[in-house]
Structure 1
Amino acid sequence: MANELSIDGFAISTNVIATIVTIAAEKVDGVAYVNGHNVATSLITMFTSKPTVAEDTVECEVTDGKLDVTLPIAVFFGYTFPEVAQGVREAVANAVTTQIGVPVGAVNIRIDELVFPKE
């Protein structure tokens, strides 16, 4: 992943995109965390004003003037994967369109982990 992407006449840091995508995805019911952004990084974010996102967590590229995003997520046990994935797609597309102002071509979800509740 490059350090910045050029789209629609401006350049934007991939870290900025990753932060927007991660925050949007983690608000969806059923998402435990975006991989690379777990409890440790959440605590750092909670006690500082700057979100901490692993640089290689969210992949993004520009295709035909649209932003394509791929992100790995961890899902809580008991949630239906297709429903969580659709919720993440909608949240990410809305956040990118609203905050960055560019069209989204695709939001690809990769479920890498299943998180079980403590018993």
Structure 2
Amino acid sequence: MTKKKGKKDNESEIKEPVINEEQKNELYKQIKELEENLLISSAEDRIKSLNTLGDIFFQLQETDQAIQYYEKSIEENRTLGKAYTNLVKLYNIKRKEAAWAKDDEKLQHYLNKMDMLLKMTKDEIRGL
């Protein structure tokens, strides 16, 4: 007996909720405020702002921007948390896009990024 692949198999993909125009405008307003505050924030507030910016861009499905802010957050503060988790998700999205596009160079790039993130996670756990 073989299992038929149907719609449910494809539903396991990551799907973000649809955002209406009003919500988008509010999110872009928040982005502007957060980016302005980055220049004057304390280190702890800066990390929170970077992560929030990553979250907002992730919600807007602007993957490259989200990656940029999460990577900056981790660069400035290697504490394990949501930035690591979301980066894994985003790298996976980019890896899948590269695989679908048959772009071996990009595919390898995101596999390498995932490996580096895993190494950083292990180093952080070990206290290195």
TM class by shorter-chain length? Answer: under 0.3
TM-score (norm 2): 0.25
TM-score (norm 1): 0.27
Bigger RCO (CA 8 Å, 6+ sep): 1
**Which structure dedicates a bigger proportion of its chain to helix?**
2
**Which structure dedicates a bigger proportion of its chain to strand?**
1
User: Larger Cα Rg: Structure 1 or Structure 2?
Assistant: 2
